Every structure is written in C-alpha cells, then in structure tokens.
C-alpha cells in the first residue's frame, strides 16, 4: 500500500546516509489502481509538503505523466484530479525502493515496504 503520498515523504535512513538520499528509486514494481475519496482541501494542505520534481519523476516511473513539470500557481479542478490520482490511487504492491546514495534497497511485499535496517546500518 505504499503510495506516492508517503513515498514522497520518505528518505533513506541508513546510518550516515544524509545527502542525495531522496527520492528512493522504484524498481521492478507491480502496481494496482484503487479508487480513493477525493478531498480537495486535503490536497491543498498537502501540497507544501511535496517535493515536486521527485513526485513528477516517481509518477513517471510508475507510468503516469499527467502532472506538469512545474507546480502550477493556479489549482484548477483538472490539476487537483490528477494530483489526487497520483498521490492516492496508485498503489505499489511489489518491487523495491533503492536509495540513490548508499544503494540500500527496501523491498516491498504485498504493498508494505520493509524499512528494517541491519545492525551496522543503524544510526
């Protein structure tokens, strides 16, 4: 059930991995689309938390190119609908997420990323 909503908030947390550790790169993913409740207020509140470029790139990796390269100033309905779909309706079920810096790979199984670290990776 990892969605871009949380993927966009997630950096690598391996010991000493503090720069260039975001966004985690999806690999060998299987996705599922599931409808979610549309809530424009939620989306507007959430926008400031997003790293826009990472969102656009990760969405592209998952096969969705509906988002504009630059975050628009005007939030029209069509934009919000697309944002809603990208953040909340694309579920990554299988695959992995790899840190661009230290290359640690977080496996995803049945929608749940395994964030556990080995002893030597704990900060």
Partner 1 sequence: MSRPELQAPPEIYYGDTEAKKYTKNTRNQQIQADMTYRALELLNLPPDEPAFLLDIGCGSGLSGEILDEEGYLWAGVDIAPSMLEVALEREVEGDLFLQDIGQGFGFRPGSFDGAISISVLQWLLNAETSHPTSSPPHRLNRFFTTLHSALRNPSRAVFQFYPSSDDQIQLITSIAQKAGFGGGVVVDYPNSNKARKVFLCLYVGGGGGQQQQIPQGLDGDVVEDGKVRFEKRRARDLRKDKNGKRKSQKVIDRDWILRKKELYRKRGKESVPRDSKFTGRKRKPVF
DSSP class of residue 32?
E
Q: Any contact of residue 112 with partner 1 (CB under 8 A)? A: yes
CA pair distance 86, 103, nearest whole angstrom = 25
Cα(112)–Cα(76) distance, integer angstroms: 33
Decide if residue 24 touches Zn ion (CB under 5 A): no
Q: How far apart are CA 69 and CA 57, in angstroms?
A: 9
Q: Can residue 36 be called a binding residue for partner 1 (CB under 8 A)?
A: yes
**d(C-alpha 119, C-alpha 123), whole Å:** 9
By CB under 8 A, residue 119 contacts partner 1: yes
Q: Give the nearest distance from C-beta 9 to Zn ion in angstroms.
A: 15
Write down the least CB distance from residue 14 to Zn ion, Å: 4
Using the contact rule CB under 8 A, the part of the chain among 4-12, 56-64, 65-73, 74-82 near partner 1 is 4-12
Check binding of 105 to Zn ion (CB under 5 A).
Answer: no
């Amino acid at each position: 059930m990892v969605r871009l909503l949380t993927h966009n908030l997630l950096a690598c947390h391996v010991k000493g991995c503090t720069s260039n550790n975001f966004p985690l790169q999806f690999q060998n993913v299987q996705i599922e689309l599931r409808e979610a409740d549309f809530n424009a207020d939620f989306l507007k509140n959430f926008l400031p938390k997003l790293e826009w470029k990472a969102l656009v790139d990760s969405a592209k990796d998952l096969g969705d190119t509906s988002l504009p390269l630059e975050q628009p100033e005007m939030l029209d309905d069509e934009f919000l609908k697309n944002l809603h779909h990208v953040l909340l309706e694309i579920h990554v079920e299988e695959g992995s997420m790899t840190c661009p810096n230290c290359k640690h790979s977080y496996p995803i199984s049945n929608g749940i990323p395994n964030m556990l670290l080995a002893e030597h990776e704990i900060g």
